Amino acid sequence: MDANGALLAPHLDRLPAPTPLCGSILGTSKGHVHCLAALKGGYVRALEGSIEPAGADSDGFEGSCRAGLRHFVLPVRQGEKTLGFILADGIRRDRGSEADGHGLTTLELELELPAGSLTGQAAEGRALSPEDVGRLRGLVSMVIGEAIAHLGELQERERRIAVLSDQRNRDSGDPRLVGRSSAVEQVARLAERLATSDVPVLIVGERGTGKRLVARILHHGGPRSGRAFLVQSCASLGEAVLDAEVFGRATGTAGGAATHSPGALEAAEAGTLYLDELGDIPPSLQAKLLQFIEDGTFHPAGGTDRRQANVRVVAATRRDPAELVKEGRINPELHEALNAVAVALPPLRERIEDLPQLAEHFLARLAGTGRPKALHPETLRLMMNYTWPGNVRELEHEIERLVILSGAEPILIPDLLSPKVTQPRSSLDADAKGWGMLHTAIRQLARQPWHTAKERWIGLFGRPYLEEVLKSVGENVSQAAKLSGLPRSTFYRLLHKHGLMRRPH
C-alpha cells in the first residue's frame, strides 16, 4: 500500500488470496469488503501512530481477520517520511482456537457459503508459530531496509546528476577572461599553459575577481574538457556534511549490507573538482584531501575501504594562503602541494582600465540576440571612479540593475546608478581606509581569548569615540553626553578614564 492506503497494484481490482480459505472469503462481495476494512484499519493505526492492540509495536501493526488468520503491516520509511506499507496476510497460527468452529460457522452463514466450506479449508497449510512470525517480520524488515538504502543511492545519484546538469548549463560556452590590461593578459597566459597540465592549482583572489572562471578555463582548455567540472563550496558546511559531500558516505542497511553514496570526487571522475574557500575546510578533511592529491586514493565518511578517483583538483581562497598557514587555517603540506603553481587574480580596482570592455561584455550578454544598451559617458566616468570592493561580480550586478531600471531606454544614464557608485571618491577612500584599519585590528584581536579581546577592543574604541564626539559639538560636554546617549555622570567617568578631563568644557 502507498502512504494513502491505496494498493500499489493497478492491475488488481481485488485483494489477492494468499490461502484457499482467503480465496473462498474474497470470492464474495461481502468478504472482500470485510478483509479490506480489516487491513485498512491496521494501516490507519500505523499511519497515525495510534497502535495499541496486543502484538503491535511502533514499527508496525499486527491484527487478525474474522477467519482467525493473522496479518501484519510494516511501514516503509525514509527518515521521517512514510512512503508506504508492506502487508503480509493469510498467516495461520498454530493455536487451533484461532480458526475453529463457531467463528467460521457464523462467517459461512453471513457470507452465504455452504456449511463446512470454511472450516475444512482452515486446517489446510502449515501453521506458523509466534517465533516463525517474528522471523518473517524480521525478513520483511530487512528487505525494506535494503530497498530504502538502494532508494537513497538512486536519489543521491539523481541529485548529483542534477547538480552537474545545472552547472553545465551555467558554465556553457567558451570561458575567457575579459580585458586587455597587462595583469589580465598575464593571468590568461598562465592559465593557458596550466590548462594542458594535470597538476593541482591554487587560485588566489578577492571575492568576485573570477576565481571560478579561471578554474573553468583550466578545465575546458585541457584534456578533461569533455568530462565533468564540479564545484564544491567549502564555506558554512559542518565537518561531517563536507566530508560526505566531497568523499562520499559509507552506510549500512538493516540487513547489514554495506552501501555507498558517492561524493564529489567520484561524481567528477576523469574531470575537475573545484574547491571554493580552501581555508574553510576542517583540518581532518585537509589531511584526507592531501592524501588524495598525493596518491589518488581516499576513504568515504564512515568507511575504512580506500577508493580511487582520477580527478584534477583546483582550489581557491580569497585570502593570502601564507597568512592562512600561519593562522593554522591551512595545512602547510597541503599548501605546498597546491601552491606549486598558484594563480593570483588582481582586484578590479587594480585593472580599472578593463571596466569599459567588461561592461560591454555584460551588456551584450544581457541583450541576447537584441541590440545591447550603452552607457552614458557620465555613467562610465562615475563607474571608473568607483573602487568596486565586490570586483567584477559587483560590476555585473550593477550592469544588471542599470538594464532593469532603464526600461526601454537604450542609454543608461547616471541617475540609475546605485548611490554607492555615485559617492565622491574621497569619501570612498576614507571609508576604505577606515575599514582596512578596523579589519587589521580585528585580525590582531582574534588571536586572543574572547574576554581579553573584548576588553582590548573597548579600550581601543573608547578614546577615539569620545574625542570625535567632543570635537563634533565644539568640546561641549553636556551636548556630547546627550549625543552619545549616555548619562552625563557616565560620560564624565569615561572622560576621566581615558584622560580627557583636561579638555576645557
- In tens, the pLDDT along 190-199 reads 999 999 989 9
d(CA 253, CA 232): 28
Same domain (yes/no): 338, 353: no
Same domain (yes/no): 356, 325: no
Same domain (yes/no): 208, 80: no
Same domain (yes/no): 365, 306: no
Same domain (yes/no): 272, 397: no
Domain boundary among 291, 317, 344: 344
Per-residue pLDDT, 53: 36
Residue with C-alpha cell 556630547? 480
Give the chain's domain count.
Answer: 4
Within-domain flag for 63: yes
Same domain (yes/no): 202, 270: yes
d(CA 434, CA 421): 18
CB 266 within 8 A of CB 308: no
Same domain (yes/no): 278, 362: no
Quick one: how far is CA 187 from the chain centroid?
A: 32
Same domain (yes/no): 86, 199: no
Same domain (yes/no): 408, 477: no
Per-residue pLDDT, 57: 43
**Domain of residue 194, residue span:** 174-344
Handedness of CA 305, 306, 310, 312 (dihedral sign): positive
Within-domain flag for 135: no
Same domain (yes/no): 78, 108: yes
pTM: 0.55
**Residue 427 pLDDT exceeds 70:** no
Same domain (yes/no): 52, 64: yes
Residue 241's contacts (CB-CB under 8 Å, 6 or more residues apart) are: none
Within-domain flag for 439: no
Within-domain flag for 335: yes
- In tens, the pLDDT along 289-343 reads 999 999 999 999 988 889 999 999 999 999 999 999 999 999 999 999 998 888 9
Per-residue pLDDT, 126: 64
Strands 81-91 and 70-78: antiparallel
Domain boundary among 298, 324, 344: 344
Within-domain flag for 9: no
Same domain (yes/no): 208, 283: yes
